[in-house]
Structure formats: C-alpha cells, structure tokens
Amino acid sequence: MALMTEAFALGAAPTVQPAARLISQPVRAAQDAPTRGSLSNSAAGAAAAVVAGAMAARRGARQANARPRAALRSINPDNFSGVCEQTGVTLNRYMIEANRQGVVDSDVLSVFNSIREATKVISKLVNTAPLAQAELLGLQGEVNVQGEDQKKLDVITNDVLKKALKYTGKLGTMASEEEDEPVSASLEGLGSVLADTGKYVCVFDPLDGSSNVDAGIAVGTIFGIFSEEAAGAACDLPTNIKDLDDDQVSCLAATLQPGKNLVAAGYVLYSCSTELVFTIGRGVVGFTLDNSIGEYVLTRPSIKIPPRGKIYSCNEANIDKWDEPFQQYIKDIQMGKGETGDKYSLRYIGSMVGDVHRTLLYGGLFAYPADTKNKDGKLRLLYEAAPMSFLLEQAGGLATTGHSRVMDIPPVNVHQRVPIVLGSKEDVEECKKYYEKSEDPKLKERCANRLKGLVTS
C-alpha cells in the first residue's frame, strides 16, 4: 500500500499523466521534458554535470574501501564448520559465511542485519495487530498518490524499516513505497550518520498487500538492494533536471536503476509462519523465523521453482479488461487447451508476496497484467516487480511484461508501474508466445516504449 501524495517522475513521455502537487516545480520541470536520456541540450548537459559531480563526490569518498565484485560462487551450508545443533544455520551465520567467501561485503551484511531486525518487529506487529486493535488496525486517514487509503500499519512498518536501515550507516539512499521520493540520508535529521558511508540503495515496500492485514491474511515486505556505483553507468539521466538540488539529483540517479543491477533482493512473508526468502545473486534461500529464539533459521538452502506448474494466480475479475494475449492464454489453460493439455487451477490471495511464495514453491504463474484502465498494470517496477523478478530468475524461473524481461526495464519514476507475468520457466515462455503473436500496434508500442524508458501512465 502506497502513501505517497505524488509520483517523483523523471523525463516522462508526452502522454504521461499530470501528477504534481507536493514536489511541484522540480517534478513538473522533469515531467515537462519530452523524452529522457539524450542530454543533448545545454541545460541537460549542465544538469548532467551536477549529477556527475554529486555522484563522483560520493563515490570518491568511498574509493578507499572499494572491493572488486566476487566471482560467482554458491554458498553451501553443508560446508559450514561448527553449526550449532540447537539452532541450525541462522541468518546471521549464513551472511557472515557469505561475507567470508567474498560474496557480499560488510556493508551488505549490515543492511541485511537491519532488514532482519526490522522484519522481526514487523512480524510481531502484524501478529499482534488484532490484539492491539485501534492502535494498529484500520486506516491512518490519509490517501496516497494512487488514491488508496493509507493503513496505520503501512505507516508504522515503513518507519520501522526506514529507521533500521538508516542506522546501518551503510546506505546512501533509500526509496520506499511509502515515501514520495528517494530519501537521501543527508536530507533528513539522521544524515550525519550516513552521508559519507553509504554506497548502497535500498528499495522496499514495507507492507505489501496491506488491504488484507485487518483480516489477518498474509502480507509481506519486499526489498531490493542496488549498488550506488552501478548507477553511474546504468542510470540514464533526464533532459531537464536543472531545478532539482544536488541531493535530489544524486538520490534519483542512484535510485533509478533497472532490476538487472540488483545486488540482492527478497521478501518476508508474514503468514502462518514468517518466511524470509532472498537472493544475493547465488540462487535463492529461505529462512523461517523461530520465535522461540528470535532468529531466522535456514529451512530451504536452495529454492528452485519447478519448470512447470498447474496453478495460475491473478485477479481474474479483470479478465475482460486485460490485454488480449493474456486473456486468451488464461482461457486456454483454464480449459486444458494449453501446451500441456492440463486444466490449470486458480489460487489468488491478493498479496503479491503470498502469491509469489506459493508460485515459487509449487510452480505455475503469478501475474498482474495491464488492463484497459491500468495500461502499465498495478505493481511497481522498482520495489515490487524488479526484486521479485531477480528472485524468480535466480530460482530458475522467468519474469516478463509479456514482451520484455522485467529486469531490463529502466525506471523513469520511483513509483512507476509495470505489467508482470512471473513463474515457472515453461509456463512463462508459453504465455509469452501469445504476446509475440499479437498484432495489436498499440500494445507493441507500449511494450517497446517501456524498454526505451518512456512511461505511458
């Protein structure tokens, strides 16, 4: 659930929806830009220089600690020496081993420590919300930029995660579904702790699926970690950002990265048990929170999604509004007319984390496609679709918009939406064929534009 009162857009396409109130001038200026990326005029050149300067200053301060990225290597818990027979492999132990093997640096280790502690608190809050009643349940009274009601737990969990991440001292920037714009450490009171040390960008949705939370139904936290260094090369700058101040510019440049730049990503599912599932680019692992010792314990050392499933998961109430290829695909697998000849079953919670978790373990497909009302679907690229796509790919699955790999799409807006179809490799490939056959020129154009960094809604 998002709380923002406005999207923080960069260089939108001519057809972009107007959305400017709070951040006003800088954002409007950026939205007025006809396209992004080319930096051909002098204003753009000056803006680029500002960005480059801000980024370089941050990078320069960190140069001494820079370490080369480790060679690909999987972490095998069977090789850990001296694992406690009582606790098994805790998350802390696992990450320390990953650090020893050079798979993650100590900064990522610190960020994971924060996520671990914050999500334990969120798990407790979600579990005890019915007992706390008015303190934790119900609406906060605000409406976000998408016109959605803000839940009390959205606000509280965002705060828990944000503070935990800030105090690591290892993040330069963070972006949350619950914030209007990326939060640079130096823009807020805690800045002095972070400003000179941060080299990672954390994106997160603290309480995804929160419309379910008052009913005690599964919800989750989604997170992704980018390296700020990678932004310099990959972040295509807008043509008109001269009105942004240096911190804002630096934040945006560091935050708007495609999913393929992710260093780590994962989710925590708050359900019958609390499950932390993540990737650090070496496959996918799953931990379960053992409340008796207050630790995440390794329960799934290597998660691989089955290559085929028999379940599809999407809000079928929208079927008449979906893009035609997705409508046809679903109709076919419902009736056993797909490649396998099996009739697929529908399972849908309406909490992405819960639906993706089941898809990951049982196989099949989860989707939130575009529809006539939401031309880019509902789910957010940066902190929902991209982290989940990284995770699914690392588990042997696929994630696509129907047309392109989600991980390849360059975000131009922190809260940009994207259609998504993810799951078992063969199921997603089958679905993709329906899109490839489509002759709809508008659909093709929308899909192609996304890859070029042009958003249409």
Residue 78's identity, in one-letter code, is D
Say if CB 409 and CB 418 are below 8 A apart: yes
Report what 371 binds from ligand AHM, Mg ion, none; CB cut-off 5-8 Å by kind.
none
Q: Which is nearer to ligand AHM, 204 or 287 (CB)?
A: 204
368 contacts ligand AHM (rule: CB under 6 A):
yes
Write phi, then psi, for 184 (nearest 5 degrees). -80, 140
Nearer to Mg ion by C-beta: 179 or 205? Answer: 205
Indicate if the alpha-carbon torsion angle 16, 18, 19, 23 is positive or negative.
positive
* Binding-site member from 154, 205, 229, 376 for Mg ion (CB under 5 A): 205
Kindly tell me which residue out of 378, 403, 446, 450 binds ligand AHM, with binding defined by CB under 6 A. Answer: 378
Q: What is the DSSP pairing of strand 171-176 with strand 200-208?
A: parallel
CB count within 10 Å of CB 119 equals 28
Quote the tokens at residue 450.
């996304």
Contact 220, 201 (CB under 8 A): no
Helices 352-362 and 386-394: crossing angle in degrees, nearest 10, is 10
Least CB distance from residue 373 to Mg ion, whole Å? 18
Of residues 283-322, which lie at the interface with ligand AHM (CB under 6 A)? 315
For residue 160, the one-letter residue type is V
Please identify which residue in 154, 208, 295, 323 interacts with Mg ion, judged by CB under 5 A: 208
Is residue 178 part of the contact set for ligand AHM (CB under 6 A)? no
Number of residues this chain uses to bind ligand AHM (CB under 6 A): 15
Among 37, 182, 206, 209, binds ligand AHM (CB under 6 A): 209
Task: Please report whether residue 350 would count as binding ligand AHM according to CB under 6 A.
Answer: yes
Q: Closest residue (Cβ) to Mg ion?
A: 208
Q: Which stretch binds ligand AHM (CB under 6 A): 41-49, 126-134, 264-272, 344-352?
A: 344-352
Q: How far apart, in whole angstroms, are the C-alpha atoms of residue 313 and residue 327?
A: 13
Asked whether position 214 contacts ligand AHM by CB under 6 A, the answer is: no
**Kind of pairing between the strands at 345-346 and 311-313:** parallel
Tokens linked to 272:
């019958």
Q: Which two tokens stand for residue 434?
A: 């329906």
Q: Provide the minimum distance between the beta carbon of 208 and Mg ion in the complex, in angstroms, as a whole number.
A: 4
Binding-site size, Mg ion (CB under 5 A):
2
Residue 98 or 314 having the CB closest to Mg ion: 314
- Output the smallest distance, CB 392 to ligand AHM, in A: 14
The type of residue at 80 is F
Q: Which residue from 19, 161, 262, 352 is in contact with ligand AHM, where contact means CB under 6 A?
A: 352
Q: Are the CB atoms for 264 and 104 separated by under 8 Å?
A: yes
Residue 384 CB, nearest approach to ligand AHM (Å): 7
Query: What is the per-residue burial (b if ≥16 Cβ within 10 Å, else e) of 2-20?
Result: bbbebbbbbbbbeebeebb
DSSP single-letter state for residue 70? P
A 10 A CB-CB count for 203 gives 28
Q: Of 31-39, 350-358, 401-409, 425-433, which part binds ligand AHM (CB under 6 A)?
A: 350-358
Q: Give the range of 32-40, 185-193, 201-209, 274-282 binding Mg ion by CB under 5 A.
A: 201-209
Verify binding: residue 184, ligand AHM, rule CB under 6 A.
no
378 binds, among ligand AHM, Mg ion, none (CB under 5 to 8 A by kind): ligand AHM
**Binding test (CB under 6 A) with ligand AHM, winner from 32, 148, 196, 243:** 148
Interaction of residue 208 with ligand AHM, rule CB under 6 A: yes
CA–CA separation, 153 and 135 (whole Å): 9
List the end-to-end C-alpha distance of the chain, in Å, as a whole number.
19
Tell me which of 97, 180, 205, 393 binds ligand AHM, using CB under 6 A: 205
Shortest distance, position 293 Cβ to ligand AHM, whole Å: 30
β-bridge mates for residue 365, sequence order = 312, 423
Q: Is 365 in the site for ligand AHM (CB under 6 A)?
A: no
CA distance 331 to 11: 38
Distance CA 409, CA 404 (A): 8
Using CB under 5 A, list all residues that contact Mg ion.
Answer: 205, 208
Using CB under 6 A, list all residues that contact ligand AHM.
Answer: 1-2, 148, 177, 205, 208-211, 315, 350-352, 368, 378
